Structure 1
């Protein structure tokens, strides 16, 4: 089947001058939304793409569009992440880029509506998927002499979200991981960054579309997020968390320094 495991489809028109040309990229959560848009951008930039998702139909359609390969993957399963990386290495000879994008809405809070199953599902996709994906892909990046990881966080990882504190919790964790792993992996020539969009075109915002429309709040096109990911991949920063908001140019968020120890006045 075209676009399925082991079979490549014709590619879209490519940018021969892109520094991403010839690079091998894994994109999780690539069957729709932000992952789909980024897989398309990467292919247009000349990268070879492995499309990973639990949605086999959507994933194969995207693989067809990018001339790449589809691999079913539950990112909350560590073994599945290892299998995805191994498939990519066997198919393309290595890995240069990983966009750890798969994510889900939380669906519950911490009060009477708390559901351990929904909580674990959200943490499994949104946080474990980044941790497991990073763990699995690092040996492949090291084997290439370095590479780049971009994790999809959210503006919810940079600000308080009283209406969905658990989603904010897992996205804050991804932001903390990016800020910490960026400098930690830099000596190995592995860059780790995060992208933090506001309300962007994806399945996650489906329950919110009515509210967003009533409030006149624009939805960020998925292509804007994809373009920002490409900017990150073709830059040289690491440990950065790029915010994306309507009407503003995407850029790394400038975190304030944590106050250091002070000397008591009456010491």
Structure 2
């Protein structure tokens, strides 16, 4: 899928990877809608981006960039974004990138009912699951090709003994991505995921400096390039693009021979689910 003139929704676009994505996508000619929880941060970034656009003698109003305050765990907030985009841009969303997330800093010795202790899973996994479902339903209703990109982590592939809830949420993102990608394979609705190693972002401050220094970090440019690849490469669906300090590579699709066996056994059920989707939406073909 080309990027120019597409409408891209970036969840968590006011800082870190999300902010860099917003800036890059605008430079590549996309219409960008970004979300965040802090109204001032969102408004300030939007104003900054509009000034930058104006200085280049491009569209000088806010017609290429929108900010929407959003709690990713709140279903109505997701729905409102799509209607607002349609109203203000006269276009519908083509690409959804879920970057919004938080780090788990709790310890196993903490009270299990402590306020907010499971917020990491609510934001990173439940919120992302809602964003995915709303996006896919949107593409089906609009009868259009669509691209969803989720964000996992090195800890979606490995253990994180000091952040088990964070690791659980990021493992869950990979399962979500593979499952939707498997369901919609051979269609023009694609769901993929980026799993970066350590990136220099504000969230990195929550980690161990010793571990990060020894393991190394990847550049923000390499990280952003991975998202762009998943937008542009229509052959990828249900894939996990891992970015390490040495290289970027696609993880083995759908796991191993066990997954292939499951696909054969569940073929009729998968086809039945797609038939239900087609009956309701008349899409995908």
Q: Partner of 2:92: helix, strand, or coil?
A: coil
CA, structure 1 residues 230+65, in 2 after alignment: closer, same or farther (shift >3 Å)? farther
Which residue of structure 1 aligns with residue 276 of structure 2?
A: none
CA, structure 1 residues 114+211, in 2 after alignment: closer, same or farther (shift >3 Å)? farther
- Paired residues, number: 242
Shift of 1:60: 2.5
- Does structure 1 conserve the Cα–Cα contact (< 8 Å) formed by 2:34 and 2:67? yes
Alignment of 1:76-225 (within 5 A): 76-92=73-89, 93-112=91-110, 114=112, 116-142=114-140, 143-186=142-185, 188-208=187-207, 210-212=209-211, 215-225=213-223
Farther-moved stretch of structure 1 (177-186 vs 104-113) = 104-113
Which residue of structure 2 aligns with residue 72 of structure 1?
A: 69
- Does structure 2 conserve the Cα–Cα contact (< 8 Å) formed by 1:104 and 1:125? yes
Q: Partner of 1:194: helix, strand, or coil?
A: strand
Encode CA deviations 1:137-178: one digit per residue, 9 max, x unaligned: 223323151210001111111112222111111100100010
Shift of 1:229: 0.1
- After TM superposition, the score normalised by the length of structure 2 is 0.78
Asked whether 1:228 is paired with 2:226, we answer yes
Counterpart-to-counterpart distance in 1, 2:250 and 2:135: 24
Shift of 1:64: 3.4
Asked whether 1:54 is paired with 2:37, we answer yes
Counterpart-to-counterpart distance in 2, 1:175 and 1:253: 11
CA, structure 1 residues 131+155, in 2 after alignment: closer, same or farther (shift >3 Å)? same
Shift of 1:33: 0.3
Counterpart-to-counterpart distance in 1, 2:161 and 2:131: 28
Asked whether 1:39 is paired with 2:22, we answer yes
Counterpart-to-counterpart distance in 2, 1:223 and 1:61: 23
Counterpart-to-counterpart distance in 2, 1:47 and 1:144: 21
Farther-moved stretch of structure 1 (24-33 vs 60-69) = 60-69
Query: Which has a greater percent of helix?
Result: 2
Which residue of structure 1 aligns with residue 13 of structure 2?
A: 30
CA, structure 1 residues 72+115, in 2 after alignment: closer, same or farther (shift >3 Å)? same
Counterpart-to-counterpart distance in 2, 1:181 and 1:114: 32
CA, structure 1 residues 161+209, in 2 after alignment: closer, same or farther (shift >3 Å)? closer
- Does structure 2 conserve the Cα–Cα contact (< 8 Å) formed by 1:38 and 1:223? no
Farther-moved stretch of structure 1 (115-124 vs 196-205) = 115-124
- Does structure 2 conserve the Cα–Cα contact (< 8 Å) formed by 1:240 and 1:253? yes
Which residue of structure 1 aligns with residue 258 of structure 2?
A: 258
Q: Partner of 2:149: helix, strand, or coil?
A: strand
- After TM superposition, the score normalised by the length of structure 1 is 0.83
Shift of 1:57: 2.5
Q: Partner of 2:79: helix, strand, or coil?
A: helix
Q: Partner of 1:243: helix, strand, or coil?
A: strand
Q: Partner of 1:118: helix, strand, or coil?
A: coil
